[in-house]
Structures are given as structure tokens and as C-alpha cells.
Amino acid sequence: MSKKTIDQLDVRGKKIFIRADFNVPQHDDGSISDDRRIRATIPTIESVLKRGGSVIVASHLGRPEGKGHEPQYSMKAVAQRLRELLAGIAGTVHLSSALPSQAHADAAALKSGEVLLLENLRFEKGEKKGDARFAAAIAPYADAYCNDAFGASHRNDASMLALPLAMKPKPCVAGFLLAKELKFLGETLENARKPFVAILGGAKVSDKLPALEHMIGKVDAIIVGGAMAYTFLLAQGIAVGASRVEKDLVEKAKGILELAKSRATQILLPVDHNCGREFKADTQKNIFAGAIDDGWMGLDIGPQSAKLFASEIAKAKTVIWNGPMGVFEMPPFDAGTLAVAHAVIQATKSGATTVAGGGDTAAALEIAGLSAGLSHVSTGGGASLEMLEGKKFESLVPIEEA
């Protein structure tokens, strides 16, 4: 899935449309609380600016209803962060004063070395509908299209699919972030070195079922943690107390365990649990080995589970991780996720290729300051999970092959 990248394109004197994923979390006052997705696209923007081009960059933010400008979803804070990150590189970072489809004058006035950030794409109802007319209104703005929005690449929004199609035969290339994501979540997984270990966590079995089924037979072992583990434990007849369970999926979980056994994929479940009486940090706590007593809920894997999982990770040459092992935002129930993170980092140091995907996993690593210890931490939550499910993304088809 190797694509032509922005550095292979002559950009001098040209305007490059970059579809980024700037859908970043914000505080109540509108300030950005986590700018990882913005920082991840800076190298692509820099590549154009430093080689004499200009950039028109666009993204969605939040969930406006497509009824025009909604102040709470404005890209104003993103524009300010771009100015800070591109200080000394970009001549000016402008925020368009019009809706994306009406920003003709702003795009025409853009000079080499400058950046124009379009307002929120979802202010236009045509964006989520994949409307070709909306895409056609934007297509004349630039001389080339660059997809650097892996986090939105599993969607066929207008800016992701209709726009590059409308811009043909103008060049359509990948940004550095997209290329890196495809390398690690595509090529690495397709040609994984063995032993290959997958780690799946999070709250819901239903969210991870397609990924589980797709990976069985392809990986040597699947480590299951987080609340989703309790549905599997209940499927084995193990009492889980008041832990979160998807009862309608217990039979499906049994089937998954049987399928894994038939295809020589080992599934490792927690053997002990860090439990609380209530879902809060100062709740009464207890460690249960095996079954969990009534009135207690599992909020994290226990210390023996952490050792068991770390031992399996230590054998791996390829590790893919999606989903935390417990309530990582609420110490002390972050201990299991941190233990697994350190085990994955140690595997990286020992030569394994290690990839983390999913918003919660990335957030947990960022909070702990551990992101740099892995081979790659994906910026795409839903996109990375769908790639683990084996899905193909239509938005990548217009991007030229390398």
C-alpha cells in the first residue's frame, strides 16, 4: 500500500490542498487540550513551505450539523496553534473568513510560504454526505491534493474522496503522517514477524469483535484486557461480580474462544483483577484472583495478569495494541495499562516492531510520557481499528501509487 508522498511532488509556486485531521479535544473555554494531531501534520506542511509552495489546509472539528457557522466549532484555536508551531517557517497563517465552499477570494490571495486554514469542513452539509458538488467548489483552490488525515481515511466524506476525484488529473499524494500510518498499520501487519502478539482492551467486546475475528489465525496470541475481558471470562463460567459485561455477546465470546483454539491462536485473559466497590478513585479496593465476588467490579487487570501479559509480550517480534487494560484515567486503576506499556517498550528495545492504535491507548501513553518508546503510535482511533479489521479504505484509491 505504498503511496507517492508530498516530498516527491514539485511544489514551488504551487498551492497544495492538505486534508488534515485536526479534530482535537478542547477545554470548555475552547483552548486545545491535546494537540498531537496538529503536531503530526506539521512535517507535511513544512515540506511544502520550505520548498516554495503554499498550503491550503482543511479539517473537520467536532460535530456541527452542517447548517453554517457554529462558533463553538470554529477552527480559530487550531489556527492559533498552527501559528505557534509554524513560527519562523510560515509567512502567515490565515483562517478563512468564509465557509469552505465560499473561500475563493482567500484561496486566490494566498502567497508562497503562507498557510490558509479553511473553516470547519462540517459547517457544510455536503462534507459528511460526500457531496461531489461541494468538492467541485473547493477543487479549483489548489494545484494538488495531499491526504494527511489518516484519522478520517475510513470515511468517504467529500474532502476525503470526492475532492481528490474532482481534482484529477492534478496530482494526489499522501502526506508523511498518512504514509507512516499505512506503513505500520498496513505493511507491517501484512508482513508481521513472528511471534505476532495482539493486545486488545477497552470497554466493549462489540467494538473489537471484527478485529478479533480478523486477527485469529494471523497472530500467535491475543491478550484481552479492559472491561471487554469480563464478557470472555463469563463465557468460561467464571464469576465476574458487578463488572461490566455484554450479556448478549457471551455466546459470541464462546465462539471466539473456540475459533481461536481451532486456529492455533492463544487467547490470554486476566487471571486476577484490581477491583472496586464503585467506579471512582477513592472507592474501597481489593485484588481478586480468579472469580470476583458479588458487589465488586473489575476496574483493572491485577499484578499477576500484568506479569503474565508482559511475559507473552517479551517473546514477540511484532506487537499491535488497541485499548487500555483498565480505567487508565483514574489511578490506581491505570497500573495494568502502564505495566503493559512498559512491557511493549521493552519489546521495542529488544527489536520488536510495536504499534499502538486507538484514541484511548494513545492518550494513556501520552499521559504517561511513553509514546516515544514504541515504533509507532497511531493518530487514528476508528481508522486504526478498521484497518485491524482488514477493511479497505476508498479514500486511498485516488492517491497515486509510489
Tens-place pLDDT, residues 203-242: 888 888 888 999 999 999 999 999 999 999 999 999 999 9
How many CB atoms sit inside 10 A of residue 311's CB? 11
How many CB atoms sit inside 10 A of residue 40's CB? 24
| pLDDT confidence of residue 208 | 87
Say whether pLDDT at 190 is over 90.
no
Say whether pLDDT at 322 is over 70.
yes
Rounded mean pLDDT, 255-275: 97
pTM over 0.85: yes
CA dist., res. 197 & res. 318, Å (int): 6
CA dist., res. 333 & res. 325, Å (int): 9
Closest Cα to residue 381, out of 356, 399, 364, 348? 356
The end-to-end CA distance of the chain, in Å, is 9
Mean pLDDT check: name the lowest of 135-144, 155-164, 381-390.
Answer: 381-390
What residues have CB less than 8 Å from 132, skipping those under 6 apart? 158, 162, 165, 166
Say whether pLDDT at 1 is over 70.
no
Say whether pLDDT at 384 is over 90.
no
CA distances from 235 to 239, 252, 265, 269, 294 (A): 10, 9, 18, 12, 17
- The single-letter DSSP state of residue 326 is S
Rounded mean pLDDT, 238-267: 96
Say whether pLDDT at 330 is over 70.
yes
Under 8 Å between Cβ of 246 and 231: yes
Say whether pLDDT at 258 is over 90.
yes
Write down all domains in the chain, each with its CATH number in brackets. Answer: 6-178 (3.40.50.1260), 192-388 (3.40.50.1260)
What residues have CB less than 8 Å from 183, skipping those under 6 apart? none
Q: What is the pLDDT of residues 161-186, one digit of tens each?
A: 999 999 999 999 999 999 999 988 88
Highest-pLDDT range among 151-155, 236-240, 355-359: 236-240
How many CB atoms sit inside 10 A of residue 177's CB? 25
Cis previous bond, 332, omega within 30: yes
CA dist., res. 174 & res. 166, Å (int): 16
| pLDDT confidence of residue 360 | 84
Q: Kindly list the catalytic residues.
A: 37, 204, 359, 382
pLDDT greater at residue 345 or residue 202: 345
